[in-house]
């Protein structure tokens, strides 16, 4: 993210396979509408039912570009006292969560994520507004990150 880059932060990006996951999700919903349009085309009428499938297909085609750009905008950085997460293109978000505030760190994977070898790391704090999820990480990296965050969080909470 151009406007939020800081020279002292080393950003780690999510996997490019996360863009593939986004494209698959869009394709599934688009195929649903196309299937309905095909089914409706058998109704004898003026024949405008094809729009029901064509419009989602056009939206799908335009979203593929944005999925790749959004994936490139996601990143995180492990600093000495906190983890910083950034995302978004037009509405950018940057969140810093102090290690000592972490209460739960979870690795989750859906069926398509498992097929692509990806996982999400979810972090829960006492303040609901600062809960954080980093999607699209390679599974091994997600587990390493979870273990690291738990280790660091335990040492930081000891001083509370």
Strand order in the sheet with 75-78: 12-13, 75-78, 82-87, 93-98
Q: For 127-146, write each residue's pLDDT tens digit.
A: 767 689 999 999 999 999 99
The fold of 75-157 is PH-domain like (2.30.29)
Q: Average pLDDT, stretch 6-23?
A: 86
Taking the C-alpha atoms of residue 15 and residue 110, their distance in angstroms, rounded to an integer, is 16
pLDDT at 126: 80
DSSP string, 20-46: HHHHHHHHHHHHHHHHHHHHHTTS-SS
pLDDT at 15: 94
Domain ranges of the chain: 17-70, 75-157
**Helix, coil or strand: residue 137:** strand
Span 81-115, pLDDT tens digits: 999 999 998 888 999 999 988 999 999 999 999 99
pTM listed for this prediction: 0.78
Of 12-16, 19-23, 129-133, the range with the lowest mean pLDDT is 129-133
Per-residue model confidence (pLDDT) at position 1: 40
């Amino acid at each position: 993210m151009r406007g939020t880059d800081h020279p002292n932060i080393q950003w780690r990006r999510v996997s490019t396979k996360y863009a593939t996951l986004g494209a698959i999700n869009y394709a599934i919903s688009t195929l649903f509408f196309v299937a309905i349009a095909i089914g409706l085309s058998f109704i004898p009428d003026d024949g405008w039912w094809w729009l029901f499938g064509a419009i989602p297909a056009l939206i799908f085609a335009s979203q593929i570009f944005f999925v790749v750009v959004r994936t490139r905008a996601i990143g995180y950085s492990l600093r000495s006292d906190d983890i910083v997460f950034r995302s978004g293109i037009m509405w950018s978000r940057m969140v810093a969560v102090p290690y000592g505030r972490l209460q739960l760190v979870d690795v989750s994977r859906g069926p398509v994520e498992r097929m692509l070898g990806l996982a999400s790391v979810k972090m829960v704090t006492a303040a609901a507004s600062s809960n954080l999820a980093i999607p699209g990480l390679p599974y091994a990296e997600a587990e390493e990150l979870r273990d690291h965050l738990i280790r660091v969080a335990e040492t930081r909470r000891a001083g509370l």
